[in-house]
Every structure is written in structure tokens, then in C-alpha cells.
Amino acid sequence: MKGHALRLGLDTAHLSEWETAERTPPEPMIGNLSRAAPMLAAAWFTLSGYDVSWPLEPCRYDLLTNARTDLRRVQVKSTRTRTGDTWKVYLSTSRGGRTTYSPDEIDDFFVIDGDCNFYLLPIDEVGGFHMIHLSGYERFRVPTRFTGSPPASGGIA
């Protein structure tokens, strides 16, 4: 608004109070986590030095990632379900009943919990499970600080 006023030659002194007012950023809307999760995952991979591709046709994976020569199929999951002091996440799909993912379909799960912690779980660790508690998979929690150097090889950095 001030820019328009200046351009029109109007006095803007009364607008300075607005500029100095503290603004509180809105609280994250965790209710939208499932919609935002694939984009958050793609951003994390990109900032970590991976190339990210989205499948054109419906697939069992949500993203393809590539670090140098290692192509990975990633299924993105999110959870807002707390059980005691852990997050519970469902790794199965409800299409045609509760179906788990196989190593023939995906390589990794990228999971985002309700506290916005990120986990990169290889299918070898959780394959066949319908549901897991994330407290048992802390070693697969990935950092959210970025160093600017891509991973030495694909998969879990």
C-alpha cells in the first residue's frame, strides 16, 4: 500500500505504525499435513541434493528420487495419530482392502509425523507391516538442516 501511495505522491507518514507492528506467523495447519506431505518430501529431497520426479500416471510410489546414479521409488506417508509418546503411521493402502507395499513397488517410505519430523524408512525395514510406531525407528529420522552437499550415494544418506 505504501508503495502505491508514494507513486501517487501521497503522504505516507501515518503508515509507519503499521510497518513496525509485530506480526505473529500463523500456526501450521497440521490438519492439512496429508495434502502437504508429498510437497514437503519433494522439498526435503531437493534441498538434500536429489533430483525429484513425479509420476505422470498413477503408481504405487509418489516420487522418484535420484542422487547421482541411484534411482529410488518413494511412497510418502504422514500421520497425525499419537499413541502415548509416539506417532502411529499406517504404511498400507486401503485400495481394495488393506494392502501392504512390496520391494517390487517401492524402495523407501518418507514419513512425516504431526510434529513435522521426517523419516526415511527403507522397505527392507518395514515391508509387510500395515502400521508402525515411529519411536521404534528413530535411527531413520533425517535431519532438516541442509549442508548443501549431495549425498555420497542414493537411498538413505
What pLDDT, on the 0 to 100 scale, is given for residue 156?
46
Q: 0.85 exceeded by the pTM?
A: no
156 or 39, which is more confident: 39
Per residue in 14-57, pLDDT tens? 666 555 556 666 666 788 899 999 999 999 999 999 999 999 99
Q: Please state, in angstroms and rounded to a whole number, the distance separating the CA atoms of residues 95 and 117.
A: 27
92-128 pLDDT per residue, tens: 886 555 789 999 999 999 999 999 999 999 999 998 8
Q: Are 134 and 111 in contact (CB under 8 A)?
A: yes
pLDDT at 63 over 50: yes
Residues in Cβ contact with 100 at an 8 Å cutoff, skipping those fewer than 6 apart: 91, 92, 127, 128, 129, 130
CATH of domain 35-142: 3.40.1350.10
**130: Cβ–Cβ under 8 A, 6 or more apart, which residues?**
90, 91, 92, 98, 100
Domain extents in the chain: 35-142
